[in-house]
Structure 1
Amino acid sequence: MVEPRYCQTSFRDWQNYVGESMPGRAPVVHYVCPPGTMVRDLMGGLVDCAGKAQGVHPVVRAALMSFGFLFIHPFEDGNGRIHRFLIHDFLGRDGVVPAGMVLPVSAYMLHQPQEYDRVLESYSKPLRTVVSISVDDDEQLTINNPLEASGSYRYPDLTYQALYLLRAVEQTINTELVTEILFIRSYDQAKVAICEVVDMPNARLDLLIKLLYQNRGSLSKGKRSLFREITDEELARIELAFEAAFAERTLALDETRPL
């Protein structure tokens, strides 16, 4: 999941924060992670919570585990990827989706970054009113009041995150899955229609469709040399076939959108 040189063999035991820094400027701190001395205990509490939350609504349980993990931030790198994995994992564990299937909630989250940022900030911003920090010249952060701040890390209110994930699952089912299914159907239709013009090998057919899709239905002049064996007349027919296949997808998407 991470570059081997930065792979950890255990939870972090140092203070960490999520932020950014520019040369000659003080770092901008977006989220103050819990102190390293609390991490192992917090992870134990998260595992305990997973057991106690059995029987809770599956999406709520997935939100508790995934966002709980993310806010503990037990690793230097890979926390976001594990956080998204936990969403998929717990939705599968609790039977929201059939075994072996992944509901692409991550796609919705990545397509709506501002909404996702608001969900993270709904926890991180109030936390900053509780946690007092200082940052030295080496950009090492210290929590000045760890005892006072510990309750905010041990007992986070994840109501907003649970509501967000419920909405994300709903939108994934109603939008992302529909979009993906329609894309696959249009892709298959385009393959059949193009092969009726030129019966080309699968690898070249996939490349051609990819290039047509990237250039909104036409083969760019810069890529024309890749398909010298196709005549201009055949290419024109192929582009029309592609346009017809994906036009059905556009119409179907319009039908699925709420008025």
Structure 2
Amino acid sequence: ILIGDDRLTPIGYRDDGVFLGERDHSNDPLPEFIGARPEDVPDLMTALNNCNNRLRLTDTEEVDPVLQAAIIAFGFVYIHPLADGNGRLHRCLIHHVLAERKYTPPGMVFPVSSVMLDRIDDYRAVLQGHSAPLMEHIAWRATPTGNVEVLNDTADLYRFYDCTAEAEFLYDCVRKTIEEDLPREIAYLKRHDAAMRSIMNRIEMPDALARQVILFVTQNEGR
């Protein structure tokens, strides 16, 4: 579902290097971020899953769900275990952890990832704040296929990381979702339902057509 068309996208853990960044005039990589070595990915993902289980099932001291979501989701995207779709799965994991921990009512769509994307510059700054110092400790070379090959042992760079900035960013996005976006969405839904009732009380028509009328009026700024 998240990958969509998998005909050109390998499924499962990647077996090659991965980077984010630009390319020079020779098509060689200019990485701003390099994911974990492919041979380290299975062990790192097992460790991340074990960490998630400990955070979720701890009996001695409850870990805040938002903190757990930040640790697991950002840990996942820094490992970058897949050839494609890491960002989407990273944001999906935030929703999954919050839902599993019953942070929001069952069945409720909690649009925190929309807030994250609305704050894309802050989001990018958090990611770059992690990746830029990391690059200083990664020895790499370009491959003949235009990818990157990591030359030193980097597993611990992905196994142990400071999640402070990531957690602060996610907490702020959650706060904005609760205090601003959800009330605005609820108010919109109330107005939408009232408009639907008003239309249906005047003209009998299918619900789908009434929703289209509302959409067209909204797009035309109420006219």
TM-score tier, shorter chain, comes to: 0.7 to 0.9
Please give the alpha-carbon distance, in whole angstroms, between the structure 1 residues aligned to 2:126 and 2:206. Answer: 47
Please give the alpha-carbon distance, in whole angstroms, between the structure 2 residues aligned to 1:198 and 1:65. Answer: 51
Deviations 1:162-204 (A, max 9, x none): 1111111111111111111111111122223344554443222
Q: Counterpart amino acid of 1:157?
A: D
Please give the alpha-carbon distance, in whole angstroms, between the structure 1 residues aligned to 2:113 and 2:13. Answer: 24
Q: How does 1:101-180 map to 2 (within 5 A)?
A: 101-144=108-151, 146-147=152-153, 149-180=154-185
Q: Which residue of 2 aligns with 1:250?
A: none
How far 1:136 moved relative to its partner?
3.9
**Residue of 79, 96, 101 corresponding to 1:94:** 101
More displaced 10-residue stretch of structure 1: 54-63 or 21-30:
21-30
Q: Counterpart amino acid of 1:189?
A: A
Structure 1 position 78 matched with structure 2 position 80: no
The alignment partner of 1:11 has SS state of coil
Q: Which residue of 2 aligns with 1:182?
A: 187
Residues 23 and 208 from structure 1, CA distance in 2 versus in 1: closer, same or farther, beyond 3 angstroms?
A: farther
Q: Which residue of 2 aligns with 1:5?
A: 7
Q: Counterpart amino acid of 1:180?
A: E
Q: Which residue of 2 aligns with 1:33?
A: 35
Deviations 1:14-49 (A, max 9, x none): 211123448755444231011101100100110111
Q: Counterpart amino acid of 1:122?
A: G
Please give the alpha-carbon distance, in whole angstroms, between the structure 1 residues aligned to 2:164 and 2:148. Answer: 28
The alignment partner of 1:53 has SS state of helix
Residues 185 and 42 from structure 1, CA distance in 2 versus in 1: closer, same or farther, beyond 3 angstroms?
A: same
Please give the alpha-carbon distance, in whole angstroms, between the structure 1 residues aligned to 2:161 and 2:91. Answer: 19
Unaligned runs of 5+ residues in structure 2 are: 57-61
Whether contact under 8 Å (1:107, 1:176) holds in the other structure is: no
Q: Which residue of 1 aligns with 2:51?
A: 49
Q: Counterpart amino acid of 1:179?
A: R
How far 1:70 moved relative to its partner?
1.0
The alignment partner of 2:40 has SS state of helix
How far 1:210 moved relative to its partner?
0.9
Q: Counterpart amino acid of 1:108?
A: V
Please give the alpha-carbon distance, in whole angstroms, between the structure 2 residues aligned to 1:102 and 1:201. Answer: 26
Please give the alpha-carbon distance, in whole angstroms, between the structure 1 residues aligned to 2:206 and 2:155. Answer: 62
Please give the alpha-carbon distance, in whole angstroms, between the structure 2 residues aligned to 1:165 and 1:121. Answer: 15
Higher helix share: 1
Whether contact under 8 Å (1:16, 1:141) holds in the other structure is: yes
The alignment partner of 2:7 has SS state of helix
Q: Counterpart amino acid of 2:14?
A: R
Structure scoring higher RCO (CA < 8 A, sep ≥ 6) equals: 2
Whether contact under 8 Å (1:50, 1:61) holds in the other structure is: yes
Residues 5 and 189 from structure 1, CA distance in 2 versus in 1: closer, same or farther, beyond 3 angstroms?
A: same
Please give the alpha-carbon distance, in whole angstroms, between the structure 2 residues aligned to 1:151 and 1:202. Answer: 56
The alignment partner of 1:102 has SS state of coil
Please report the TM-score for the alignment, with normalisation by the length of structure 1.
0.76
Q: Counterpart amino acid of 1:207?
A: Q
- Structural RMSD (CA): 2.1
Structure 1 position 208 matched with structure 2 position 210: no
The total of aligned residue pairs comes to 216
Whether contact under 8 Å (1:92, 1:102) holds in the other structure is: no
